[in-house]
Structures are given as C-alpha cells and as structure tokens.
Chains A and B, each alone.
Chain A
C-alpha cells in the first residue's frame, strides 16, 4: 500500500467493532476529522477520526507533577517522552467495494495497519464529481470538495452559522460556482434575497455581466397579478366576511379591466371598495387594511422585475432589500416573488432556479404572528414540493432555532459554520439528520472559513476549508473599523467643501 502508515489498530474494551475502532498513532500527521483506511478480511475499511487522545502516565497525577516540576522539569528526571502515546478513535464508515460504500459487517483486526486514504478513492467515496461545485478543500486532505449540483440543491440547502462565521462568504463562493458553470452541465437561475446588501459586489468584477441587482425601493408588485387569495395571504388579519367581499370585488375589477385591456392599481381597488354596496364596518376595515398596504409603495400596475429579467439560466438576480426598513414589506416581496417563481417553474415557463434567502429566520419563522408569517407558507411549500419541479431553496440563517422546522427539515444538505448558541445547536441536532454528538461539538469549535457539510451532497459529513472567493466583496460588508474611518473622512471632506465654498 503506497499511502503512508498512520498507526496500528488496538484492542480496547470498546472495540474494535463494526462501528468503531481505535488505533495508536505512529505518525503525527493524523488529525481529527481525517479519513483513514485499513485492510480487513472483507475489503478496505474506511474510517473517520472522531477524536484523538494523548496520554502519558507520568503526567496523570497532578500533585506528583507539581512536586517534581518544582526541582526541575520532569523531562530532566524521567524519560517522559517514551510514555506518551496517542490514540485516534475512529468511526468505521464502511467498506469501499466496487466503487460503492457498503456497511461493514466485520471489525478491523487488532494489529492491522492504518493508512492514509487513497485520494481518488476518497473523492469517489465522498461523492465528489469533476463538474461539481468547488467550495474549498477537504480538511486534512489535499482534495478539492466538488459537490454535485443535484445532490446539493435538489433537496434544498441550509447554511447555518452565527453572525460573522462566514455564511455570506460561503454563499458567495457557491454563487460563483453556479455562475461559472458551463451550459453543457446544466445551469440554474439564481435569485438572492439580500437583506444586507452583501451580494451587491457581484455587480462589479468578473460576474458583473451575469448579475442583475434590483433595488428593493423600486421593486413593484402588479396588483392585477395578485389573486384575491394571495391578497388575503398578504392581509392575514382579514376575517371571513372581509375576505369574501374583497375577493368578490377583485374578481369583478379583474374581469372588467381584462376586457378593457388595462391594469389596475391600489387606488383603483380602494375606490371600487368605497363605491361597493357592503356593510359599512367591513368597508371601512378593508379600506384601512388596503391603505396600510399602500403605504409600503409596493403595489403598482406592473411587476418589477418581471420574471424574464429575474430568472435566467446561469444568471444571478439580487433582490436588494438592504434599504428597506419594514420587515413586512420585505416579507411581501419575498412571498410574492417566491410564489411567482414557483408557479412559473411548475409550468415550465422559467428555468430551474435556486432561491437563496438570507436571514431566512426572518422570512420563515417557526413561531410568529400571522402578520409576520406572510412569506413562511410559500417557503415551506417550496421546501416540501420544490424538488419535483426544479425549485431549490438555499436558506441562510444565524438563528436556526427561530427557523421553521418544516423548512429546515426539508433541507437535505446542511452546511454549518461556527454556531455557539446552545439553543441553536440543540435545534440543529433535532432538525438535521446525520448530526451526531461529536459533530455537534465540532460545530461550536469551527473557525471562520471552516464548514461542516452534512447530508445529501456528501456521502459522509465532511469538514471543509472554504476556498477564496473570486467575486468582489460588497462595501456593505465592510468592517466596523473601515466604516468608522470612511465616515470621518467624509465628514472632513464635507467641512472642507463648505469652507472652500465660503
């Protein structure tokens, strides 16, 4: 075997078993999370190092160590280094046979040699493909993590991490891979709900020609394209009588304007309600609700952007909501365009798409008032049904505990960056399959730029060092220090301009 030897399988009270084995390390290259292999009677057994324990009998008793160290270093009195040994506790993942991973049914033999995993086999074993999305390097191995598009997106992707752990950075890397994808491999249309303006950098540099940014303040929803049912979803406070009345009036208005070949807007709808013959209280409530909706300046006579602009293969559309203050308006935009994307995709009118929702917990909250859950139903619907129609979700969140369990559990691939909040960790463990206790612990200790990928996209959870992004970083993601410096520079310039003018 050409791969370098790492150690020897040992016999302990716990094993080796078909599920685990431990080996004593003879090579200091072994690291936690590393994949290893050992030959068994049934074939090549692949394992992953779960934990490494370093022991030395000379340093077991604190009081003795303290006392001996008072005179001189223990190393100067005893051959302590000879007593050190390092054990790697390893999870047996299975046998790699005929390019397939099969369950191990016989343990590794005590005394068997453990080696580094063969790189090509590791790629195959983990399910990396040549035309996959390259998001970085497999930790402890010189292997590029190239994830297959189908496995990564078809059953949705969740990216969970605390603030500042590198979610948007990793999301940008994934977007770059989607944009760089060749047509012959199949390209998705990518729509990003950008609440902080973190993806605006795509409009500069190498991806400028493939990126459209839509300013949230200019986004419009053509009211005539909003069905009565959808409008009722936008106004969950309406009671059944109000719903019935508004549906009737919208139906009439719609039919009338269709015949005339003109669109209608919010003022038209309000005027029609005011003219209608209905209970006064109902009328006044409806008008009140609609006036409130109108304050968002979202509803007009046509959509902006239109679907053809929003959704094109191999292109990125950024819905820049960073200048919007109202969370409800943001939810209305997401709800409307997500519904539209999904409906059009079902009809095959637009290409398969991936909808990336930043701060997804604000759009698909597990527990929230009806008025703040406007976008939740459609996100959950895409999560449940999107797979069949080529509609994929990328949910990005720093508060997994607040994210809809329905949506999260439908995300068959999860990418974790550093998460430390114990409630979030618990929620992740409950919502995501394939997370064991050791991985839960690992999530808390990931460094910036390190990610744990679990689920459909990989045949076994892997730790990844995220690659460098190629796209331009948005100025909205600048550091606090830079922002403060820029502000003061701007103030000085203003003052100079004023003085110069005087």
Chain B
C-alpha cells in the first residue's frame, strides 16, 4: 500500500507542477481564445465599495427511504443584506428567518428516480423562494448557492415518474430569469466546488497538445492561473446551447447564461460564478462578487450566502419530527417500516 501511496503522491505532485507551469506560460502569452467573451485570459478585479442590496437563496434537504414510501423534507430561505459603505446595515428574510420545512412523500420510485426527485424537490423550493425574494426585496443582485441552471444530472429520463417535476423546475427557472430581468436584478450562481471543464475545453481548442488539460478540471487549473483579486475571461455556459440537454429546455434563456472564475482570497480555491446576461457588465458582476467574498482569506464566499446556508440548513431532528408525526397518525404498518439496512438488530 505504501508503494501505491508514494506513486499517488508523486502523480499528484506532477500534475500540480504541470498545471503551474502551464499557467505561467498562459499568463505570459496574450492569446485570444475562441468562445471567450473577452480578450484577456485573466483580468484584475477592482474591489467595490458596497452600497447595494444583495439577496441570496439556499435550500436544505433531508430524505429517508421507508418500506412503502420515500420521505423528503426541505426548506429554502432568501436572505437580503443591505450594505452601506461595505458594512452590513440591514438584513431581512423570506419567508422568515426560520422557515418551516415542507414535507413530500413519494412511493414506488426506482432508486435513480428517488435521487432525481430529491434534487428537484429542493430546486423547486429554492426557485420559488428566489422568485418571491426578487419580487419582495428588489435587490440589485440575487445569488444562488450553486448553478443558475439545472445540472444535466438533475434531468430525469423522459419516461421517469418524476419528469413532471423537472418540467416544473424548468418553468420556475424561466420565471426566475424573467423576474430578475423585469426587476433589473442580476442573477448569479456561486459554485463552491465546481467540477466544470468548460474553461479547460476552451483552452484545449487553442492548446491541443497540452496533455495536462485533459487531466484538469477548471478549478484545479485556475487555482494556479489566477492570482488573488483576478478573474478569468467570461464565457458562455455551453459552446452550443441548442445542443445542451438542459439549456435547450430553457429555450432562449439558455444563450444568456455566462460564467467566469474568480479568486477572491489568497488561501482558498477559485469560485465559479454563473450569471444571467443582463444589466451589469462582467466587470461589475465580478467586482460585487469579489467584494462580497474577500472577508476571510481562508474562505472566499459571499457572506450573504453563508447566512442563507445557515438559515436553510436542516437538522436531522426535522426529519425525525416528520417521521414521528406520520407514525403517530398512521400507526405501525408495513409502509412506515424502516429499510432493513436502517434497522439492523445489532448496529
């Protein structure tokens, strides 16, 4: 095992060395990249004195399988931070600081349908709350925890019993885009741990021989490429939205989804930022996200999203409470029996 570990360590070191070297080379050249929406590979971000309203939405979800049904509890919360001279001057919540959880039960789902259902149920909650938050708070920015489009993995098969939920989610995304556009609000998704490869793919089109690109995700490379306070060029979410499985469901909105990466703090990795093309320029968006995120050199993430995450997080107790309520009303019957793997006699 130790030999294998040594090999792995060596391999990782080598990958990082190559990414570092490539990044240096890339920074020294002034190439134009096809599909990049800007000329420069990297750009310095100007920090901004914050005098604005920023909202954020996050959701929490817990689920448990039972013999006869699958139980899901979720909630989403919108938080509004009002900044004056970059200091938090006020804050509000929607629907409230401690939002009630919503319970959902589905039965006879295949395992993969169950996974889709969970994700879609939470997305639905988050999108509903985001729409309401934009209407109610009228913020300059609405930040989502994660992407502003559904992931391909969120899309169930056409014949799945949960496909209807996906259709609802798509419809809610469109509604959110429309609401943001109508209210002059920039919708942005901040992705903590992106596995995206779109940026690398853009580079590959120019540097076909760089093998290290094949072995890199966007953030693993950009960590070496960007210096603190910089961002990459902006790019479209997809090279061909019409062919993208998800973007095509979003019809014309699919073409308006852009992204870039920023490195807000010294000791944290880059953040992927996705945004709906609209009122604010790339630089303005980057400035705001950067200014919101650079308050802890070890953890570059907007404070408003941290608050939303804490408000939305669910304790296991919530799930137990929902189960107890069901149990009290149903009594012990086969449907409510826990799975065998959750009720082993000795562990």
Q: Do A and B come from one complex?
A: yes
B299 in contact with A77 (CB, 8 Å): no
A-B contact pairs, 17 of them (CB 8 A): A57-B310, A63-B298, A67-B296, A67-B298, A68-B296, A71-B294, A71-B296, A72-B87, A72-B295, A76-B88, A77-B295, A78-B88, A78-B306, A78-B307, A79-B91, A82-B91, A83-B310
- B297 at the A interface (CB under 8 A): yes
- A64 at the B interface (CB under 8 A): yes
- Per-position 1/0 for A58-75, Cβ under 8 A of B: 000001100110111001
Which A residues contact B (CB, under 8 angstroms)? 57, 63-64, 67-68, 70-72, 75-79, 82-83
- Could you tell me the distance in whole angstroms from the C-beta of A351 to the nearest C-beta in chain B? 65
A67 in contact with B297 (CB, 8 Å): yes
Query: Within the assembled complex, what's the spacing in Å between the Cα atoms of A68 and B297?
Result: 8
**4 nearest CB pairs, A to B:** A79-B91, A76-B87, A67-B296, A77-B303
- A67 nearest CB neighbor, chain B only: B296
- A57 nearest CB neighbor, chain B only: B310
- Per-position 1/0 for B58-91, Cβ under 8 A of A: 0000000000000000000000010000011001
A79 in contact with B310 (CB, 8 Å): no
Instruction: Please provide the chain B residues from 297 to 345 with a CB less than 8 Å away from any CB of chain A in the complex.
Output: 297-299, 303, 306-307, 310
Query: Within the assembled complex, what's the spacing in Å between the Cα atoms of A245 and B299?
Result: 94
Query: Within the assembled complex, what's the spacing in Å between the Cα atoms of A82 and B298?
Result: 24
Query: Within the assembled complex, what's the spacing in Å between the Cα atoms of A48 and B81?
Result: 40
Cβ of A68: which chain B residues have Cβ within 8 Å of it? Answer: 295-296
Query: Within the assembled complex, what's the spacing in Å between the Cα atoms of A309 and B306?
Result: 80
- B9 at the A interface (CB under 8 A): no
* Chain A at the B interface: SS class: helix
* Cross-interface CB contact of A71 among B88, B295, B306, cutoff 8 Å: B295
Query: Within the assembled complex, what's the spacing in Å between the Cα atoms of A63 and B267?
Result: 14
Q: What is the interface size of chain B, counting residues whose CB is below 8 A from a CB of the partner?
A: 15
- Could you tell me the distance in whole angstroms from the C-beta of B182 to the nearest C-beta in chain A? 28
A67, A79, A83 interface centre (most CB from chain B within 10 Å): A79
- B97 at the A interface (CB under 8 A): yes
- Could you tell me the distance in whole angstroms from the C-beta of A243 to the nearest C-beta in chain B? 75
Cβ of B310: which chain A residues have Cβ within 8 Å of it? Answer: 57, 83
CB contact under 8 A between A67 and B303, given known A57-B310, A77-B88, A79-B88: no
* Cross-interface CB contact of A79 among B295, B298, B307, cutoff 8 Å: B307
A67 in contact with B299 (CB, 8 Å): yes
Query: Within the assembled complex, what's the spacing in Å between the Cα atoms of A78 and B97?
Result: 14
- A11 nearest CB neighbor, chain B only: B317
Cβ of A76: which chain B residues have Cβ within 8 Å of it? Answer: 87-88
Cβ of A78: which chain B residues have Cβ within 8 Å of it? Answer: 88, 303, 306-307
Cβ of B294: which chain A residues have Cβ within 8 Å of it? Answer: 71
Query: Within the assembled complex, what's the spacing in Å between the Cα atoms of A68 and B310?
Result: 16
- Per-position 1/0 for B105-121, Cβ under 8 A of A: 00000000000000000
Instruction: Please provide the chain B residues from 192 to 217 with a CB less than 8 Å away from any CB of chain A in the complex.
Output: none
Query: Within the assembled complex, what's the spacing in Å between the Cα atoms of A63 and B297?
Result: 11
Cβ of A75: which chain B residues have Cβ within 8 Å of it? Answer: 88
- Could you tell me the distance in whole angstroms from the C-beta of A111 to the nearest C-beta in chain B? 14
- Could you tell me the distance in whole angstroms from the C-beta of A13 to the nearest C-beta in chain B? 10
Query: Within the assembled complex, what's the spacing in Å between the Cα atoms of A343 and B295?
Result: 81
Cβ of B306: which chain A residues have Cβ within 8 Å of it? Answer: 78
Query: Within the assembled complex, what's the spacing in Å between the Cα atoms of A63 and B299?
Result: 11
Cβ of A64: which chain B residues have Cβ within 8 Å of it? Answer: 296, 299
Cβ of A77: which chain B residues have Cβ within 8 Å of it? Answer: 88, 295, 303
Cβ of A67: which chain B residues have Cβ within 8 Å of it? Answer: 296-299
Query: Within the assembled complex, what's the spacing in Å between the Cα atoms of A64 and B303?
Result: 13
Cβ of A63: which chain B residues have Cβ within 8 Å of it? Answer: 298
- Could you tell me the distance in whole angstroms from the C-beta of B325 to the nearest C-beta in chain A? 14
Cβ of B307: which chain A residues have Cβ within 8 Å of it? Answer: 78-79
- A75 nearest CB neighbor, chain B only: B88
- Could you tell me the distance in whole angstroms from the C-beta of B322 to the nearest C-beta in chain A? 16
Seed contacts A72-B295, A82-B91; 12 additional CB < 8 Å A-B pairs: A57-B310, A63-B298, A64-B296, A64-B299, A67-B296, A67-B297, A67-B298, A70-B297, A71-B296, A78-B303, A82-B97, A83-B310
- Could you tell me the distance in whole angstroms from the C-beta of B267 to the nearest C-beta in chain A? 9
Query: Within the assembled complex, what's the spacing in Å between the Cα atoms of A64 and B296?
Result: 8
Cβ of B295: which chain A residues have Cβ within 8 Å of it? Answer: 68, 71-72, 77
Cβ of B298: which chain A residues have Cβ within 8 Å of it? Answer: 63, 67
Query: Within the assembled complex, what's the spacing in Å between the Cα atoms of A72 and B81?
Result: 16
Query: Within the assembled complex, what's the spacing in Å between the Cα atoms of A64 and B268?
Result: 13
- B294 nearest CB neighbor, chain A only: A71
Query: Within the assembled complex, what's the spacing in Å between the Cα atoms of A77 and B297?
Result: 14
B81, B88, B294 interface centre (most CB from chain A within 10 Å): B88
- Could you tell me the distance in whole angstroms from the C-beta of A456 to the nearest C-beta in chain B? 45
Query: Within the assembled complex, what's the spacing in Å between the Cα atoms of A82 and B297?
Result: 25
- B310 nearest CB neighbor, chain A only: A57
Query: Within the assembled complex, what's the spacing in Å between the Cα atoms of A305 and B345?
Result: 83
Query: Within the assembled complex, what's the spacing in Å between the Cα atoms of A68 and B296?
Result: 5
- B90 nearest CB neighbor, chain A only: A79
